[in-house]
Amino acid sequence: MKIRLNGQPREVDAGTTLADVLRSLSLSAGVAIVVDRQVIPRSAHASTPVWEGAEIEVIRAVGGG
């Protein structure tokens, strides 16, 4: 199925969760995920499946001054 990940089209398998998406990006902790303009709590990443046409933004905190 097709989704948009950080503005880019991407193909994922049915049943893919937000945690799976993070793993595919080699990310796990310290990120926020916004799906269709809704922030998804970290505690729900493993249990939230993605759906056809979902627009997902992965936001990483960047340290600095």
Q: pTM, whole model, 2 decimals?
A: 0.84
Question: What is the CATH topology of the domain spanning 2-60?
Answer: Ubiquitin-like (UB roll) (3.10.20)
For residues 46 and 13, the answer to whether their CB atoms sit within 8 Å is no
Separation between Cα atoms, residue 16 and residue 63, nearest integer Å: 30
Q: What is the pLDDT of residues 11-65, one digit of tens each?
A: 999 999 999 999 988 886 678 899 999 999 989 999 999 999 999 999 876 665 5
CB 54 within 8 A of CB 10: no
